Amino acid sequence: MYPIFVFWYIQSISFLSQAHVASALNMDGRKSLVVSGDYYDIPDEFEGFDEEADCMKAIAQENEDRNRYTDILPYDATRVKLLAGDGSDYINANHVSFKDGDVELHYIASQGPLDETVADFWQMVWEQKVSLICMMTGLVERGRIKCHKYWPDEGQTQSFGLLSIKAIAETDEDGFMIRTFVVTNGNDERQVTQCHFGSWPDHGVPAEAGAFLRFVAEVEAVKGLTSPTVLHCSAGIGRTGVLALTQIALALMQKGRVADISDIITKLRQHRMLMVQTESQYEFVATTLRDAEKRGSLAPAISNIDISTWRSTSLTETVEDKSNSETKETKEPKERVDTFTVVEPEVTQSEADRSDTDTEPDHNHQYSELANTHSELANTHSEPVDGHADVAGKKKDYEQSLKHVTKKPKIN
């Protein structure tokens, strides 16, 4: 399936480049649509963030075991709420939406499920009517568990709470896997696709963008038109943020609009903290977008280009990221009483996921007094998933008030 959409993607970039874009090598002097600044000028969270006030549900004692990392928590204003189950509505996941004119994308950014939260994860998928899950991590990396295997092997069926998951197909696409599941709840069943990008290196970022761009094309081919896409890596912020950022930037560029990478990340972090976790991830996205832009403008026979040769030549970072994150130990799952029914869920829009790199950011920053504005965003997220309330107007004054008020220390 993906070659067709890769061709479509390349043709779109080709038209965009010829009609609207001039890369650094163009002769007409027009500027690139890709704009990037200093990664370390981007605030980690929304301005005025206070963990005790803004992540109250996440830090509650009864939910401690549901967080993979103790310092990567969902904002109360945008967290996904489970509608029924064992008495708790908590899952470490946020609604994330981006809207700019007719460019509109909706995500759920989640941590990788723990053993004891797999049933919660599938419950969220069912209740939010999700048809696509994008997984951006291996199950184990550098000897550390990054995500619990939450799906059965091909041809097998496994139950989680009241939901039954049957794996009906699995395809290796040379760099990523495509799995198809049938999810059953009583007499109702739905098909869910998982796109699993498992070729992200243990250290740093991919040396070339070919496999990642093919993955993005596949995601575009199968994503739902109205339902949110679930994105997750391990913590649900780093590689998850990379995928969301790339999709948003390409969508803007294909409409002839500037993709301001720093601005997009700033908006994403209003919904989930630390989206796009490291500078190397930021540079990977910027270089990938510029490479795509240049190739589109320079090659008349663009459809003959093998995008697997598009290398991010400006990226040389191979230094191992160091982590200070405290990882939750896997525990035996608790006995659940799952008696949930399908109700039209409320949307609390939010931002995506913690990077699967093991870099722990510094949280000791000072922010201005805008917490009340962010809290008011929670009141705007009341539309059902199929509607996705347009909160852009209500957020306009808030977004204009955002300032880059801090510089983060660079990661060694």
Confidence tier at 60 by pLDDT (50, 70, 90) = very high
User: Which residues constitute the domain of residue 190?
Assistant: 2-396
| pLDDT the model gives residue 337 | 32
274 is a domain residue: yes
Query: Each residue of 281-329: pLDDT tens digit?
Result: 999 999 999 988 887 632 222 222 233 333 333 333 322 333 334 444 4
Query: Each residue of 208-259: pLDDT tens digit?
Result: 888 999 999 999 998 877 799 999 999 999 999 999 999 999 999 988 899 9
410 is a domain residue: no
CATH of the domain at 91: 3.90.190.10
| pLDDT the model gives residue 392 | 36
411 is a domain residue: no
304 is a domain residue: yes
207 vs 133, residue with greater confidence: 133
103 is a domain residue: yes
Query: Each residue of 377-407: pLDDT tens digit?
Result: 444 443 333 333 333 333 333 343 333 333 3
**pLDDT of 274 strictly over 80:** yes
- Tell me what the pLDDT averaged over the chain comes to: 73
pTM above the 0.75 mark? Answer: no
| pLDDT the model gives residue 410 | 33
408 is a domain residue: no
Mean predicted confidence (pLDDT) in 74-92: 90
Confidence tier at 85 by pLDDT (50, 70, 90) = low
| pLDDT the model gives residue 174 | 85
174 is a domain residue: yes
| pLDDT the model gives residue 296 | 63
**pLDDT of 1 strictly over 90:** no
120 is a domain residue: yes
204 vs 148, residue with greater confidence: 148
Q: H/E/C letters for each residue in the chain?
A: CHHHHHHHHHHHHHHHHHHCCCCCCCCCCCCCCEECCCHHHCCCCCCCCCHHHHCHHHHCHHHHHHCCECCCCCCCCCEEECCCCCCCCEEEEEEEEEEECCEEEEEEEECCCCHHHHHHHHHHHHHCCCCEEEECCCCEECCEECCCCCCCCCCCEEEECCEEEEEEEEEECCCEEEEEEEEEECCEEEEEEEEEECCCCCCCCCCECHHHHHHHHHHHHHCCCCCCEEEECCCCCHHHHHHHHHHHHHHHHHCCCCEEHHHHHHHHCCCCCCCCCCHHHHHHHHHHHHHHHHHHHHCCCHHHCCHHHCECCCCCCCCCCCCCCCECCCCCCCCCCCCCCCCCCECCCCCCCCCCCCCCCCCCCCCCCCHHHHHHHHHHCCCECCCCCCCHHHHHHHHHHCCCCCCCCCCC
Q: Give the catalytic positions in this structure.
A: 233
Query: Each residue of 329-359: pLDDT tens digit?
Result: 433 333 333 333 333 333 333 333 333 444 4
| pLDDT the model gives residue 268 | 97
Number of domains forming the structure of the chain: 1
